[in-house]
Amino acid sequence: MNIREAKEELRRTVLAYTARTERGVSRIPAVRQRPVLLMGPPGIGKTAVMEQVARECGLGLVAYTMTHHTRQSAIGLPMMEKKTFGGREYVVTDYTMSEILASVYEQMERTGKKEGILFLDEINCVSETLMPALLQFLQYKTFGTHKLPQGWMVTAAGNPARYNQSVRELDMAMMDRVKWMEIEPDLGVWQSYAVNEGIHPAVSSFLQWKPESFYAAETDFQGRSFVTARGWEDLSRMLLTLEELGLAVTEELPGQYLHHREIAGEFWIYYQLYQACQESPYTKLPDVPYDQRLCMLQVLLRGLYRRAEEWQQAGELAQSLEYFLEGLKRQVKGAGEGLKAGMEDWLALCGEQLEKRQQGIEVKKECGLLAAREEEREALFIREMQRQMGLWRLKAVHEGKSCEGAEATVLREWRQRQEEEADKLESLLLEYTDFCDQAFHGRQEQYIFTLGLLEHKGTAAFLKQRLPQLYASLDRGRDLDLEKARLQEAMRK
């Protein structure tokens, strides 16, 4: 299966394991809740899907890499304890709480989440002395004398032996205790992820042109050469950051992330082509070679994605402000009749609620439950609110105005900002779509452009909301996965 299918299967498993009867009893007893084991190449996204499922299902997440654990750190340290049996006192061996289980309890205390996922990475790299205790844990959810809290499930991940020389082959006893899911690289699935995660357009278009370069693992007389999905994503983040900071991108950079000399060299040449394409007007696009057309299509799509994200961001800010103000109104006497509190009381209340919001964000971030986009959105909202509070304070001091009605004015301004972004995006969408239809009608380039619009959550949502007829003409019941498979097959020929 591919990583998207694995994520959906993992989500269904989480829902099944956390399901309870009307009397509050687990539908699947803990002893029958087999840990999910994702087995696949390194850098394919196994850890990322665990984080995504935990966030989307509202669960806690504790992740541990098992390679550095000894039997003592996993099980706990032995200690002597006196116990009485049959009227006689004995000294017996007990254990301190496992470092792993202690982390679960600590996160429950910080977040208040009683259900969650304990993720054990590189599980087939554990030491020989730890393996018996691990087998016990997989079946009974117990390390030493301490159990995993009720409501928490176990997931794990590992690499096949052909990718990692230090792995241990899993025997029948281990495999009979887990829910085994084998994952293979899938460029089409990764491209869908890349569209919405802001992967550098040069990376996306290069892999459209050279799909066989997405994942590679080879060994020859020169040693091991490999390229992974993680390598492409990390290279993309570095390229984007260097460009934003105005720093030079050197020829050596791709090879620091892509451990395959030929692929790294090809990408460097392609990246230079992408840079040159940004300086050319898109009206020349039909007259250039195919690889350059792919570059320029990504330039067009990137511009649309940025506009769509600006539109979404403006809408999310306005919605966050609306919820925030509603919460404040409930705390102010006379809710529903306008705010009657004095300006100082109002500002103090705003500051108090913003502080609580920041504390909640920090807890989620510390526990790995905060997606990067959510963190950025929250930071922007808090910054905008702090700026607005400063303006309210100035008006109160210099103009003697009260806060009554001020919140409605700000909300209208933020909604107007969203409308302005919508107008800009609509104009650009119509212009680019019309151009691609005229220049590439019925050709691969038009399908690539259309798929790019439909797969990006921002542009797809905007088309559905503001341009439903255009969305219908672009979609036409199209199977996106089938279209991508056809495109990739055509590009290989």
Q: What is the 3-state secondary structure (H, E, C) of 437-484?
A: HHHHCCCHHHHHHHHHHHHCHHHHHHHHHHCHHHHHHHHCCCCHHHHH
Whether residue 283 is predicted with pLDDT greater than 80 in this model: the reply is no
Q: Do residues 381 and 410 touch, judged by C-beta distance below 8 A?
A: no
The structure tokens listed for 487 are 């495109």
> What's the one-letter identity of residue 346?
W
The band of 484, judged by pLDDT with boundaries at 50, 70 and 90, is low
Least confident of 63-72, 84-93, 137-146: 63-72
- pLDDT for 338 equals 44
Dmax over Cα atoms in the chain, in whole Å? 95
Structure confidence at residue 401 (pLDDT):
55
Helix (H) or strand (E) run with residue 381 in it: helix 372-398
Q: What is the enclosing helix (H) or strand (E) of 82? A: strand 78-85
Q: What is the pLDDT of residue 308?
A: 92
Q: The domain 3-71+103-184 is classified under which CATH number: 3.40.800.10, 3.10.20.30, 3.40.50.300, 3.50.50.60?
A: 3.40.50.300
Q: Say what the pTM is.
A: 0.75
Q: 296 or 206, which is more confident?
A: 206
* pLDDT tops 70 at residue 341: no
Is residue 183 within 8 Å of residue 189, measured between CB atoms? Answer: no
Q: How far is CA 236 from CA 201, 239, 456, in A?
A: 9, 5, 18
Least confident of 117-131, 190-204, 297-311, 338-352: 338-352
Angular region, 146: left φ>0, alpha ψ -120 to 50, beta rest? beta
Domain boundaries, the chain: 3-71+103-184, 186-279, 307-419
Cβ contact 386:379 at 8 Å = no
In degrees rounded to 5, what are phi and psi of residue 120? -105, 105
pLDDT tens across 435-476, in order?
A: 888 888 778 888 888 888 888 989 999 999 888 888 888 776
Answer whether residue 337 shows pLDDT above 50: no
pLDDT band at residue 340 under the 50/70/90 scheme:
very low
Measure CA 308 to chain center: 19
User: Over the stretch 284-334, which tens digit does the pLDDT of each residue have?
Assistant: 666 677 777 888 888 888 889 989 988 988 888 888 888 887 777 777 655
CA–CA separation, 457 and 445 (whole Å): 20
Is 241 a residue whose pLDDT tops 90? yes
Q: Which residues of 46-65 are buried (b: 16+ CB within 10 A; e: fewer)?
A: bbbbbbbbbbebebbbbbbe
Q: Residue for token digits 């790299």?
A: 125
The pLDDT of 203-219, averaged and rounded, is 86
Q: From residue 332, how far is each of 56, 339, 407 by CA, in Å? A: 33, 7, 13
The one-character DSSP state at 20 is: B
Tell whether the model's pLDDT for residue 488 goes beyond 80: no
Phi, psi values for residue 158, rounded to 5°: -160, 165
Task: Provide the 10 A C-beta neighbour count for residue 77.
Answer: 13
Report the mean per-residue pLDDT for the chain: 81
